[in-house]
Structure 1
Amino acid sequence: MSRPTEVASDLAVFVHRRRISWGETDAARIAYTARFLDFAMEAIEAWFYDRLGQSFYEFNVDEGIGTPFVRVELDFRSPLTPRDVLETEVLLHRLGRSSLHIGVAGRVGERLAYEGRLVCAFVDVGSSRMRPIPVPDKYLSALQREAALAAARSAG
C-alpha cells in the first residue's frame, strides 16, 4: 500500500507501506541485506505509478522509455524483522535534464531503518546503446512539483 503523507502546506510526501515477510529474512532472523535495495526500488516504482501514472514496465513497453538506475547508495541504520511495517518515503531531490536524483528513507514508526540515494536516467530503449533522452515533456511539470516538494522539505 502506498499513500501520500500530508506535510506543512498543501504538499504531500509519498510514502510506500509494506510488511516485512519471513521469506525476506536470513539466518539471523532479520531482513537480508540485499532486500533493502528491493524495498527501495519497490517504493520508487510505486512513486512513479502514483506521481506519473506509469510503472517501470509501462514506461518501457508502452512508451519505449527505460529508466535504468545508474547510481545506488544505501545506508543501513537498524534491522528489520517480520514484525515490522516499513514505511519508505520517496523524494525527488534533483531533476536533471535526463535524470532523477531520488532519496528514500525507510522507517518503522520513528525508527530509521535505511536511507538511500539513487539516480535513474530516461533512455530510449529502441536504440542499441540506450542513449539518455530528455525527461519527457508530459511528465516534466509533475516532476518539477516533486522536486519543489523536496526543496521545501529540506528548507523547512
Structure 2
Amino acid sequence: MKESGLTGGPPPFIYERAVTWGDTDPGYIVFTGRYLEYVVDAVEAWVTHTFGRNWFAMKLDEELGTPFRFANLDFIDQISPRDSLEIEIRVVDVGTTSLRFDIKGFALSKERGRRHCFNVDAMTVFLNTTTMKKTPIPPEYRQKLVEAGWLEAARV
C-alpha cells in the first residue's frame, strides 16, 4: 500500500492487490460480488493505516465496530486476471459517528494501461459492539483524522 499525490485535500490512500483466476467467472472477468470484497479489504487497510489498528483489534480491545451503512457501486469497466487493482480512498465526510468515503478502482495492465473501472460511495458507522448502538468516533481516532488531514478536507 502506498499514498499518491492527487489534488484536493490529502493524497488518497492507495490499496493495491492482484486479481486472481479465482476472482473471475467463465467470461474471464471479475465476479460482481468481488468488487465489494475488494472495497471492504481496501477500507480495512485504510483503517489500519490511519488508526493504527485493524477491525479485529478494534472489536476485541475496544468493543468498537465500523460496519458499512451503505455502499453504492457504479461499474465503469471490467477487470480481468490480466490486471492488478489499485483502489483510491478519500474521506469526504466526517460525522459524529460516521465516515463517508469516495472510493475509485483502477485496473492496471501492460496491454490496456491504467483504467478507471468502478466508483463507490460508502459510509461506515462507529458502533459499540456490546450494545450494538452507534457511538461517537473516539477522540483519539478523530485526532488521527486531523493529523492525516482528512478532517479539514472532509465536509465536517
**Equivalent residue runs for 1:1-156 within 5 Å:** 2-7=1-6, 11-109=10-108, 110-127=114-131, 130-144=132-146, 145-149=149-153
Identity, % of aligned positions: 28
For residues 82 and 47 of structure 1, the distance between their equivalents in structure 2, rounded to whole angstroms, comes to 24
Classify 1:113/1:147 alpha carbon distance in 2 versus 1 (closer, same or farther; 3 Å): farther
> What is the one-letter code of the residue matched to 1:72?
A
Does the Cα contact within 8 Å between 2:77 and 2:117 map onto a contact in 1? yes
Greater mean deviation of Cα atoms: 134-143 or 2-11: 2-11
Does the Cα contact within 8 Å between 1:59 and 1:66 map onto a contact in 2? yes
Query: Structure 2 length normalisation: TM-score?
Result: 0.88
Does the Cα contact within 8 Å between 2:67 and 2:125 map onto a contact in 1? yes
Does the Cα contact within 8 Å between 1:89 and 1:104 map onto a contact in 2? yes
Does the Cα contact within 8 Å between 2:90 and 2:103 map onto a contact in 1? yes
For structure 1, the 5+ residue unaligned runs are 152-156
For structure 2, the 5+ residue unaligned runs are 109-113
> What is the one-letter code of the residue matched to 1:146?
W
2:137 counterpart SS class: coil
Classify 1:55/1:107 alpha carbon distance in 2 versus 1 (closer, same or farther; 3 Å): same
Does the Cα contact within 8 Å between 1:64 and 1:126 map onto a contact in 2? yes
For residues 11 and 141 of structure 1, the distance between their equivalents in structure 2, rounded to whole angstroms, comes to 15
> What is the one-letter code of the residue matched to 2:135?
I
> What is the one-letter code of the residue matched to 1:114?
F
Does the Cα contact within 8 Å between 2:8 and 2:153 map onto a contact in 1? no
Does the Cα contact within 8 Å between 1:19 and 1:85 map onto a contact in 2? yes
Query: Structure 1 length normalisation: TM-score?
Result: 0.88
Matched positions, count: 148
1:41 counterpart SS class: helix
Classify 1:91/1:9 alpha carbon distance in 2 versus 1 (closer, same or farther; 3 Å): closer
Question: Alpha-carbon deviations, 1:4-46, whole Å to 9, x = none?
Answer: 1133599332100111000000121100000000011111100
2:80 counterpart SS class: coil
Question: Alpha-carbon deviations, 1:65-112, whole Å to 9, x = none?
Answer: 011111110001111011101100001110000001111100124311
